[in-house]
Every structure is written in C-alpha cells, then in structure tokens.
Structure 1
Amino acid sequence: MSLNSEIFSSITTIPKSYWSQLGCEDNIYYTPEFLKAFEFANKGIDFNYIFILRDQIPVAFANTQRISIGIETITKNTRMPSLTRQLVNTIFRHRNLHVLFCGNIFLSGEYGIFLKENQDKTTAFNAIARALGLLSKNTRKLHTLFIKDFENDSLHITNLLHLYDYASMQVEPNMIIYLKPEWQTFNDYKSDLKSKYRIKANKADAKSKPLEVQLFSKNDIITHKNELQDLYQNTIDNADFNAQILNLETYIHLKETFKEAFLVQGYFLKNKLVGFLSAMKNGTHLDAHFIGIDYSKNNTYAIYPRILNDYVRLGISTNSSQINLGRTASEIKSTLGAQPKPLTCYCKHKRYLPNKILKSFIKNVRIKTYKQHQPYK
C-alpha cells in the first residue's frame, strides 16, 4: 500500500489519535504539548506539521517552520573573500531569504523528523521528502529548504536527499557530557577531573559566589519575562548564527505543562537578574536550552562558566545519563568533559538554477575548528 501525506498548519487541528498511533510521545520533543508552546508563543513564524500515513495510520512525522533570514547572517558564517562578502551584502542588503526549516529551529539535534518503529524507514523518509517538495511548491514566498540536524547513524537514510538535489553540510556538533553513575555530587564529578580543570571549575564557582541562584516557578518566569528576553537577546547578539529569536512567552507554556521537567534558573546580583539558564529533562537526558547573560558582569562574576558548572550539577541531581550542552563554544564545553556529536544538514533552493549556485556556496561553508580538551584523569 502506498504512502500518502497530510499537512496541518496548526497543532490544534491534528487528530489526537495520530500521536498515539505514531508512538512518538515518549520523546517530549514530539508531543503536541511541546510543539504547541512554540506555535502559540511565536506568532511571526509559519508552522506546519507533516504526517505520512499508510492505510490511514501515521508512520512518520515532520515539523517545519518558515522564517526569513537577513543575508548578512548567512555570509558572515561563510568562507569567502572579504570583498566578495561586501559585494553580496551590498547587492542583497534589502532582501531577506525566506527559508522553510524542517526540524525545530529552537533545538539543536534530531528533533524534526520521527519515523515509526518496525517500518521501512527509508521509504517513510522518502515520503517526507516528497511531502516537503509539495509544501514548498504550495508556499509562494519561499526561497530555500533546510532540513536539520542529523547524526551520523542516520545518514544512510537521510543521504537520499541528494537524489532530490539537496546539498549536505556539516554544522557545529552538539557537545555531550556523559555522566557516570557513581557521580552522585558535583564533588564526585570534580574528583575525576585533572587538577587543571578542577581548578578551573572551582574558580568559576568562587568568582560567581556573590550571585544568588534561584530555580524559577511559572510565576517567576512571568515576573521576569522581560528581563529574561533582554538577557537572551544579549546572547543572540553575541552568537555567530541564529536563525530566529525565540519569544520567551514559550517558557511560560513549557513550565506550565512540563513542571519540574522544564528548568529555568536565574542568577541575581544585588537583586538584579544578570543571567539565566534553561533546560529540559527528556527521558534520561538533560538538554540545555537557551541561556542569557549580562556580559558587562560576565568577566567579574564568571556567569557563563558558572552556568556550565550548574548544567553538570543539574544533570547529576536529575539522575541524567547525559547532558546535551548544544552547539557553539565547543572548546570551553570540552573543558568540562563534553564530547562532540557531529550533525549534518541539507539545503536546497526552490528553483533549479539558483540551487546550482547555492550548492557551490554551501561548499564554502566551514564549521569552526577548536581544541578538544581531555579533562578527565
């Protein structure tokens, strides 16, 4: 029996039976409640949800978001002569690139496509690729499709996107700390660090000692929402690349729905919020989400190094088996023991000739190199 697709433009219109039949709800990131929080709080994004069905039973799922990105956001992360970059930025300075992302643009990792167990996953993925083509064809204001983030174990399936004229590219890896069961406290973890890295962790805690740390309730997030948004904006302004700014109204919905599984922790200096971290407990994994920092206080009070220490503390206290610290700042994360997990993305222009140009453009994209530390004894 052939596969067919259904595409929904709102989470509220999806039949509830689809989720249970697909069997994806053990993973928080594929629950309608999680996806709804992002859709409801981020009105400027066009969301779509693709279901692949066999005999009217779902066998695969993909979620997409359509956004616009300024050309400078892209060129500053592409290896090219500076004069060429200036020329491209000048020519296209008043134009945004409209991109259809398959995957969650607010998460780093394989959280955009779900393939049901005991199915032919290659066939199901192929059906998703066709459905994305259909969605692209029916989306008028669109330039590019971008399918993100696949681990190496998935590439034997996802590389069939080359047959649909997509180009593949490696992006910065997720940085993962694998926690040992015998680490019951942060001191247990530090005892396994080499002296140099233990001193580094202790220094971050010492410099940040004046900070008051508070786990936020839903009401705390509501109270400090504007401050959280400003601090988050600081990190976005310092990032090399960010496709879209998250409305932190999302966090209110996530906290209300997932309670203790969703964590927001604030850092106060003399009653002023100067930093925060956020994280989601997903099964046995703890996933770092966005952070926010007052960079004018960061050097003096080691806010960012303290946040990294506290992710380890939270991972241990929640009995997690691993902590996904996400992308960026790979070297400093490796000083805590994080190991890289490579990720591959696929990109395609909607039209044939621009796609040929895009492919050569993508060949110039290079991920940053960094020193991978080995901090354990």
Structure 2
Amino acid sequence: MSTIYTHQLFTKTAELPDNWDQVAQSCIFLQKCYLQILEESSPENMLNTFLGIFEGEKLMATALIQEIDLALLPSFGERDHAIKTALRNILFKQFASKLLLVGNNMLSGQNAYTCLPDADESKVIEKLREVVEFWPKKNHLTIFKDFTESQIQAFQIPAFQTDFPFSSQPNMVFEIKSIWQKEEDYVADLSKKYRDQFKRCRKKGAEISTKELNYEEILQAEETIYDLYLHVAKNAPFNTFILPKKHFSSFKKHLGSEFILRGYYLKNQLVGFTTVIRHGKELETYFLGYDEKIQREKMLYLNMLYDLINCGIIQGFERIILGRTALEIKSSIGAKAVRLKGLMRHRFGMIHTNLSWIFPLLEPATTWIERHPYKD
C-alpha cells in the first residue's frame, strides 16, 4: 500500500505540534526557538510559513517556506556599477520580485526541511513540490535552495524534472583540525606568507578589545549595533532583505548561550561586532557590522575571522560555516569553497525556458582567487 502524506501550514509557533522539535532536532534553524525569532523579527519583506508533513496523525517532516517581496526594497545592492545595478533592479521588479522559497534566505546550507529516519524522503519532497505548486498567492519564482551535491540527488524525481538547476556563490567552510588545541597550533600550520599576514593583522588590531555581550548589553547597544550592520549591508553587492533593528536582541532572547554577539571596542567605543550560532559540531557565522574607517586602519574584518577560528578551536567545534561573502579573504585564512545547488521554476513558461541566460543577469558574478595558506 502506497504511503500517503498530508500537510498542514502554520504561521505561528504556538500552533506547532508538541513534538515538532523532536522531528527537527537535527537542524536548530527548524526548531521552535529559532522559528520564534522569525515570527518576532523577520525582515519587513519576508513572510514565514512553517510546514508539517504527516502520515496519519504522525508528524514525519518539518519545513520552512518563505515569501519574499523584493519590490519592497529600494535597491538590491549599491556596490556595482550604476548601469548594472539599474538593470538588475528593473529585471527583478518586473520578473523576479516575488519569490516563494523552500529554505532560509537568511542562511547558507540545507535548512529547508528535516525528516524522521523512517520517513520516505522522496514522498516528503514530492509533498513540498505539491504545496508550493498550489500556493494561494501568485509568485514569480519558486526556489528550493542550498543543497550539497549529495543532498540534491534526492530531487532527481519526476516532480522536479523541468526545474532549472542553478548554483550561486559558494559557501565558505573552515575545517578545524583535531590536532589543534589553541590558536598557536593553527598559526604554526600556516606558510610563512600567511603567518606574516596573521602577525601583521594582530599587530594592527592590538588596540581593539572584544567582549561577548549579554541580552541586556545588546539592548543597550542596539542602536549602534544596527548602524554598524546597516553600513555593511548597504555596501554589499546584492541584498534581498534588511534586518529589523530588534533582530539581534531577539536572537539572544530566544537562543541564549547558543547565540554569541561579540563587540569590538576602540577606546570604549563600539566599532564592530560579529554574531555566531552554535549548531551541533558547527559554528555558524551570522551577520556582522563595523566602522569602515576602523576596519581599514585596524584590519578589523580579518581580526574578526581569526577570532572566529580561535573560538572554534577552543570550544571544540569541527568546522566554521563562514557564508558567501568575502570569498578570497576567507580563503586566505584556510576556508574552502563548498558549492551549493538549488532548483527554480518561473511562473511564466517563456521566461522559465530562458532561465539559463536570464539567471546570470540576476546573480552578480564574483571573481576571486583561491588561496592556499597552509604549509605543503
């Protein structure tokens, strides 16, 4: 007898089944503590729906679906040449502004769905396709995002046969060697060129002090934190959302010690911050911010990256997920590019059949050189 799966959509975490977290235990970004953050402090142009997939009364899988309206943004990034930026803005607003996304647009990696071990994953994925196919609101693009080479194999089923496969900028992942016990062990494995880079960076940033902020301290510094974040966000080559001001305090409130916001101070003035999330054996970087003048003078961003490595080593993590920005500088500290794949379908057939040449116009190209900082 064929397995029959049904589904239910939820817009509030209070409505979720009691055993939701048991099903989603492998992914903190599908657990209630994180979904409460989305419920409380999502970007204004993003709506989140939580999907439960059932076999009879039994919850078999959980998923996150996001509706993103890019037309509500003033622009999608301001760093590129004005003509290129203007062209991208026109293309997005006319043909790709309303997105229906299975996954999380605020993170890198497979945070789209989780299944129980005894679930039929093919049936789960088929149900996901069915749900978005009959979504009540009209959208331009339906996207399933951020799957590794092995994860994307599950989508090799008839329901996705006509979807356009795409790959965007890679996720930079830093692997922590088990033999490293302290920062000095990492530095000792670098070639002379990159040991000199480390020493120069640490010397430049010697006047900078750091501090992990608790919930009350984040609230007190929220205005400055947000200004620092906005500076970096608005100078990115591509944006699909802007976080609300209370986002970081909401994170700390709901995740507690699993969320770390580290402030960077120069003469008692907050000039930068980083955020990370503890996720099993992985340390997942989130958003950051800094004063551009201090960043240039003190090599602040590179110092932040080295601090993340130190944190990862000392706290026993196996890897650090560094995300999709600043690929070359992350490569220079030892991070490797992991290609992530996705599938998309455009609502209009003529546009869908031409996505192979339209997609490169929407996705800003990034040229970078892979670095090899370790000794041979």
TM-score between the two structures when normalised by the length of structure 2: 0.90
Q: Tell me: CA distance 1:182–1:219, structure 2 relative to 1, closer, same or farther (3 Å).
A: same
Q: CA–CA distance in 2 between the matches of 1:255 and 1:206?
A: 31
AA aligned to 2:197 is K
Specify the alignment match of 1:99 in structure 2. 99
SS for the counterpart of 2:353 is helix
| Cα displacement (A) at 1:110 | 0.8
1:185 aligned onto 2:186: no
Deviates more, 1:184-193 or 1:55-64: 55-64
| Cα displacement (A) at 1:115 | 2.6
1:63 aligned onto 2:52: no
Deviates more, 1:243-252 or 1:313-322: 243-252
Q: How many aligned positions are there?
A: 370
Corresponding residue to 2:172 among 164, 175, 181? 175
Q: Tell me: CA distance 1:5–1:341, structure 2 relative to 1, closer, same or farther (3 Å).
A: same
| Cα displacement (A) at 1:257 | 3.0
Specify the alignment match of 1:52 in structure 2. 53
Q: Where in structure 2 are the equivalents of 1:268-347 lying within 5 Å?
A: 268-347=265-344
Q: CA–CA distance in 2 between the matches of 1:224 and 1:161?
A: 51
AA aligned to 1:372 is E
AA aligned to 2:368 is Y
Q: CA–CA distance in 1 between the matches of 2:115 and 2:196?
A: 45
Corresponding residue to 1:165 among 162, 165, 169? 162
Q: CA–CA distance in 2 between the matches of 1:161 and 1:269?
A: 57
Overall identity of the aligned pairs, in %: 24
Q: Where in structure 2 are the equivalents of 1:133-144 lying within 5 Å?
A: 133-135=133-135, 138-140=136-138, 142-144=139-141
Q: Tell me: CA distance 1:342–1:269, structure 2 relative to 1, closer, same or farther (3 Å).
A: same
Deviates more, 1:344-353 or 1:159-168: 159-168
Corresponding residue to 2:236 among 227, 234, 239? 239
Give a deviation string over 1:238-291, Cα, whole Å, max 9, x none. 212221112252322322233222110011122221110000111111111111
Q: CA–CA distance in 2 between the matches of 1:222 and 1:87?
A: 39
Q: CA–CA distance in 2 between the matches of 1:43 and 1:369?
A: 29
Q: CA–CA distance in 2 between the matches of 1:374 and 1:259?
A: 36
Specify the alignment match of 1:39 in structure 2. 39
Q: CA–CA distance in 1 between the matches of 2:243 and 2:43?
A: 10
Specify the alignment match of 1:9 in structure 2. 11
Q: CA–CA distance in 2 between the matches of 1:190 and 1:48?
A: 44
| Cα displacement (A) at 1:95 | 8.8
Q: CA–CA distance in 1 between the matches of 2:245 and 2:308?
A: 20
Q: CA–CA distance in 2 between the matches of 1:43 and 1:179?
A: 33
Runs of 4 or more above 4 Å deviation: 70-78, 81-96, 363-367
Deviates more, 1:354-363 or 1:217-226: 354-363
Specify the alignment match of 2:373 in structure 1. 375
1:155 aligned onto 2:152: yes
Give a deviation string over 1:92-144, Cα, whole Å, max 9, x none. 77898121222111111111222322332122111111112122xx014x322
AA aligned to 2:133 is G
| Cα displacement (A) at 1:75 | 10
SS for the counterpart of 1:247 is coil
Q: Tell me: CA distance 1:149–1:40, structure 2 relative to 1, closer, same or farther (3 Å).
A: same
For the 8 Å contact 2:79–2:235, the answer to whether it is kept is: no
For the 8 Å contact 1:68–1:96, the answer to whether it is kept is: no
Deviates more, 1:157-166 or 1:366-375: 157-166
| Cα displacement (A) at 1:346 | 2.0
Q: Tell me: CA distance 1:50–1:262, structure 2 relative to 1, closer, same or farther (3 Å).
A: same
Specify the alignment match of 1:194 in structure 2. 191
SS for the counterpart of 1:297 is helix
Q: Which runs of 5+ in 1 are unaligned?
A: none
| Cα displacement (A) at 1:26 | 4.1
Q: Tell me: CA distance 1:143–1:192, structure 2 relative to 1, closer, same or farther (3 Å).
A: same
Specify the alignment match of 2:109 in structure 1. 109
Q: CA–CA distance in 2 between the matches of 1:121 and 1:77?
A: 41
Specify the alignment match of 2:29 in structure 1. 29
| Cα displacement (A) at 1:84 | 8.7
Q: Tell me: CA distance 1:310–1:88, structure 2 relative to 1, closer, same or farther (3 Å).
A: closer
For the 8 Å contact 1:178–1:321, the answer to whether it is kept is: yes
Q: Tell me: CA distance 1:31–1:187, structure 2 relative to 1, closer, same or farther (3 Å).
A: same
Corresponding residue to 1:253 among 250, 253, 266? 250
Q: Which runs of 5+ in 2 are unaligned?
A: none
